[in-house]
Amino acid sequence: MKKTLVAVASVVAVTSAFADVSISGNLNESVLTDKLGGANQSARTALHPGSNDSFITFNGSEDLGNGLKAGFKIEQALDLNNFNNTTIMGPNSAGNSNRETSVNLSGSWGFFGLGNQYQPVFFSAIGGDPMGANNLTGNMGLRGLAGVTSNNSLLYTTPTFSGVQASFIDAYGGSDTKVANSGNGYGYSLSYTNGGLGMGFGQQQSKNSGAIGANLATLGDIGKGQLVGAGAAITDPRVANGAVRNAAVADGDKLVASAWHIGYDFGMAKVSYYTSKYTVATNSVNGKALGISAPVGGFTLGASYGDGSNQGSTKADYTGYQYSARYALSKRTYAYVEGGKIEDTTNHSTRTQSAVGINHSF
């Protein structure tokens, strides 16, 4: 009994060390239709998050005095359908989260965090995306994004000076042991805001590890919403046994991702341009898109259109678009209809998705 009381007291002491602890999150689900067209065709209908992901977040903050604060963040992705998918921020194959989990210090000098944290280049890309990086195909401006977080990382973000803010990240990789320092990397971003104008640029460089390679086995997997890939919801039926046509990413290869965006909010509508590129050895995946969003009554409408290409041992050109209509049912809940399409104009195949669903934040 005494040991139990000591254990309970220890837990209480740890949890009460932070003056403010909050629980928040998001739940999203939709009915998704996914169609593949080309030499052969296939289709499916399934429950799948469309406009956003599902997750739960624990935030803590303690005032240390003299303007200094300590905090933590634990954000766990939730797979409502109990299967792994190719969302930009979904649970990994072990069922764990690849969202942010960190401890931090902040003050007038900026923010410093340690743990699994978002790469600055990610925000440089989605800053121009009118749909906010949803889970559907056709978003050409995000084709060059792959992983969006770095584990075992140190992150520093400056205060904002005259609209300018910078972030720097240094990462020490995962648990892979095949290549020395495999997964190590660094990145940075620079952003500027002034009234309705917003722009940003970022880059991330890392050494590929087996842990990453398992999820990004080929360049076909790197492009979000690609037509082919080991992790794709539908495998291209034109490729025997689900094999992919693009060059493999090997352990130890240097991966470089870059992205930038520029946009202006006119009040009646926000217009943006955003682009991203991912390279490894002599191979690359890139894309760019023009986006627009506008509030219309209780709706928020959005659309993007762009193109991109794969360059390397195999080459292909792509075009794609997305659309979105979200209706606010309350401050925390909206219903939506969203969709997108990507076309491989070189090999004459397409992938089309549409989703009708509900998103609730808490």
Instruction: Give the number of domains in the chain.
Output: 1
Pairing of strands 110-118, 149-157: antiparallel
Task: Note whether residue 181 is domain-resident.
Answer: yes
Domain holding 65: CATH number?
2.40.160.10
Question: Using one digit for the tens of pLDDT, what is the confidence trace for 75-107?
Answer: 887 877 764 444 433 444 334 455 788 999 999
Q: What is the pLDDT of residue 67?
A: 94
Pairing of strands 42-47, 254-265: unpaired
Question: Using one digit for the tens of pLDDT, what is the confidence trace for 154-198?
Answer: 999 999 999 999 999 998 865 544 444 456 789 999 999 999 999
Task: Note whether residue 5 is domain-resident.
Answer: no
33 by Cβ neighbours in 10 Å (0-12 / 13-18 / 19+) ranks as middle
Q: What is the pLDDT of residue 215?
A: 37
Q: What is the pLDDT of residue 189?
A: 97
- Three-class SS state of 310: strand
Task: Note whether residue 178 is domain-resident.
Answer: yes
Tell me the HSE value of 327 on the side-chain side, using a 13 A CA sphere: 7
Digitized pLDDT (tens) for each residue of the chain, 362 residues in all = 433 333 333 333 344 455 689 999 999 999 988 888 765 567 777 777 777 778 889 999 999 999 999 999 998 878 777 644 444 334 443 344 557 889 999 999 999 999 988 889 989 988 999 988 887 888 899 887 766 778 789 999 999 999 999 999 998 865 544 444 456 789 999 999 999 999 999 999 887 654 443 333 333 333 333 333 323 333 333 333 233 334 455 666 678 889 999 999 999 999 999 999 988 777 788 899 999 999 999 999 999 999 998 887 778 888 999 999 999 999 999 999 999 998 888 878 888 889 999 999 99
Q: What is the pLDDT of residue 358?
A: 95
Q: What is the pLDDT of residue 354?
A: 92
Q: What is the pLDDT of residue 82?
A: 61
First to last CA, the chain: 38
Task: Note whether residue 103 is domain-resident.
Answer: yes
Task: Note whether residue 124 is domain-resident.
Answer: yes
Task: Note whether residue 215 is domain-resident.
Answer: yes
Q: What is the pLDDT of residue 120?
A: 93
State pTM to two decimals: 0.79
Q: What is the pLDDT of residue 78?
A: 80
Q: What is the pLDDT of residue 18?
A: 53
Alpha helices, DSSP H only, in the chain? 2-15, 120-126, 210-215, 219-222
Task: Compute the distance between CA of residue 74 and CA of residue 104 in angstroms, rounded to an integer.
Answer: 12
Q: What is the pLDDT of residue 112?
A: 98
Task: Note whether residue 162 is domain-resident.
Answer: yes
Q: What is the pLDDT of residue 183?
A: 61
Task: Note whether residue 123 is domain-resident.
Answer: yes
Tell me the sheet residues that pair with 102: 73, 115
Domain that holds residue 107: 18-361
